[in-house]
Amino acid sequence: MDYKTFLDTITRRAPVPAEDAEPLTRATLETLAERLTRGEAEDLASELPKPLKEPLVSPTPEAEPFGLDEFINRVSRRAGVSPDEAREGVRAELSTLRDAVSDGEFRHVMSQLPRDFETLVDAPG
């Protein structure tokens, strides 16, 4: 999946203004990089288009242990959107990642996240 298709898919899946798709995508990937181990963030980045790789540069080798609510709050602050918009953006982003990367890679990412992320990914949108 190329970058434009990735953003277009986010826009279709998240009930947020189209101009928020790119900031939400970047904010979600930056936050995901904090929540994943550096190796997993690098593995995920290796399967994505170039513009999506940079936000996945992990600031530390270890994953930060925070849950879904903190994840949503960080995305909200970074993207400058409400927590509700951030939640919809994260839901759309994770669903799009599931389509954009291999099944194995997506399972590895999800295995490093708390279980409440799974309900978000499986939520209709």
Domain boundaries, the chain: 3-11+19-57+66-122
Dihedral, CA of residue 76, residue 79, residue 84 and residue 90, to nearest 10: -90
pLDDT value, residue 18 = 83
pLDDT value, residue 123 = 56
Q: In sequence order, what are the residues at sequence separation of 6 or more whose Cβ sits closer than 8 angstroms to the Cβ of residue 123?
A: 91
pLDDT value, residue 120 = 86
Q: Which fold has domain 3-11+19-57+66-122?
A: Globin-like (1.10.490)
pLDDT value, residue 121 = 83
Could you list the mean pLDDT of each consecutive 10-residue stretch along the chain, which spans 125 residues? Answer: 92 87 95 95 95 90 94 97 94 94 96 92 62
Q: Is residue 74 packed enough to be buried (19+ CB in 10 Å), middle (13-18) or exposed (0-12)?
A: buried
Q: How many CB atoms lie within 10 A of CB 53?
A: 16
Residue 53 — left, alpha, or beta (φ > 0 → left; ψ -120 to 50 → alpha)?
alpha
Q: What is the CA radius of gyration of the chain?
A: 13
